[in-house]
Structure 1
Amino acid sequence: MPPVLEAARPVAADTAPLTEPTPPALTDQVALARLYGQPLFKIPHDLYIPPDALEVFLEAFEGPLDLLLYLIRKQNFNILDIPLVQVTDQYLGYVEEIRSRNLELAAEYLLMAAMLIEIKSRMLLPPKVKEGEEEAADPRAELVRRLLEYEKIKLAAQQLNDIPQHGRDFVQTQIFIEQSLQPRFPDVDVAELQAAWRDIVRRARLVQHHHISREALSVREYMSRVLKQLQGQRFVPFEAVFAPQEGSAVLVVTFIALLELAKENLLEITQAEAFAPIYLRLTYLPISTV
């Protein structure tokens, strides 16, 4: 079989070239092509070119309606009065051409071809008028409606495609300019401000120290206070000299003051019987003036 001309492509390491190495004298020439990875400087006499290698498709259609609309507009036919015989013959010629090469692609076009043949056959038959209608419906009406809708959508798509698109027709540029104007700071959200404040309070608790301070309470001062409270009274209940609302430290100092007064014989602590209420009274009576 004669060699086949192919596009330049890399050759695996284990593929042996079919042609002999190029002589050193020909390395400066421009290669016409590459045959199995080797430069070809002269066209062989027995060169075989596949039939499909030089095929060029000048028109590409998106479907059977696109092809049918192309045939009508190319020959300036009135789309509302399509000469179905000519259009069908041209359409079938194109379908037969693509059917011989790509049967899967031709399947969709064959369906439209069957529809055209059906409409052509109905036009050859005598028209049938339905009840309530003055004249018979044109068999081409449905096809014309579909063609007009397709043409409208196609024109709209072309108009949208003509609009400049970002990334296809133009590229958006960004320019950074340093300006010595007043900086614009971003707005701070209330939730972000609360979170920042909570973080500061949490860190403050971690580094703060616990200070214990001694409350300056004078026993002598509370001794004088108890004497003033008992002065002019014979018996005072024991709990009456204490002020619980002033705190435990004041209670302790007051109790120590009572003990000191009793120690110095300035105060008597009496009880009539066991488990009876405890009373306080001064050991001396103030001198009354007559």
Structure 2
Amino acid sequence: MPDYRVQLDTFSGPLDLLLYLVRRNEIDLLDLPISQITNQFLTFLQVLELIDLDTVGEFVVMASSLIEIKSRLVLPRAEDQAQEAQSAMGEDPRAELVEQLLEYKRYRDAGQALQKQADDWHNHFPRMTSEKPKSSRDIANDSFKEVELWDLVSALTRVMQKKIVVETAAIRYDDTPISVYVERIGAHVRKTGRASFSEFFEGANERSKIVGIFLAVLELLRHHQFHAEQPEPHGEIYLMPPDNPEHASSVDPAETP
């Protein structure tokens, strides 16, 4: 399988994942449940390491910080020792992380507000062809409209938890090119009009094949104007073909993975 690395969006990173977990669990950011968040973060980290993101090192560092904070909160100690330690630290062990999250959230919200204004301006005053940048855009920085990237990673996590992934002494790799999965999945979605995310992984037990299928789904969403929707919060994700027929380029019929 070719070396295909995923570049997350501009605001993506460990803080972005933490905010996603906060929103998903409807948690009060000022009263962050470290144990719950740490466990979920580590689950996501396992999948991110599988995908081999370029920025996975940042997530490992954050995971270590979360585990350290968690250990400081759960270590048994006498009441007077706890008060002495609290006085020495001057604040809750979570305080610095919470402040980072609040600052990042303000930065992220401001960026989204600016992007919305830019989109509204573009809808009212579309850019002329001659005004468009000549250089190719970095498609890796595109964002999903209906479904967040973390929703897709979360869906992959559920797939991995339900599957018995093949583990062998001699690791087997699926060397199927990503383009083949793109063609197969794209043709299936165009034919059916709507396909569930989980069905693409039916019969796939090798880690490299699962990763290849997942990256093909990202390819379709980012490069080929396919759409993803999630009718129920944290439920099944569905892929749909492009709305514009011009983007529905012909693909040789092939079986879905």
Q: What TM-score does the superposition give when structure 1 sets the normalisation length?
A: 0.36
Largest Rg, 1 or 2: 1
Higher RCO by CA contacts (8 Å cutoff, separation 6 or greater): 2
Q: Which structure shows the bigger proportion of residues in helix conformation?
A: 2
Q: What TM-score does the superposition give when structure 2 sets the normalisation length?
A: 0.40
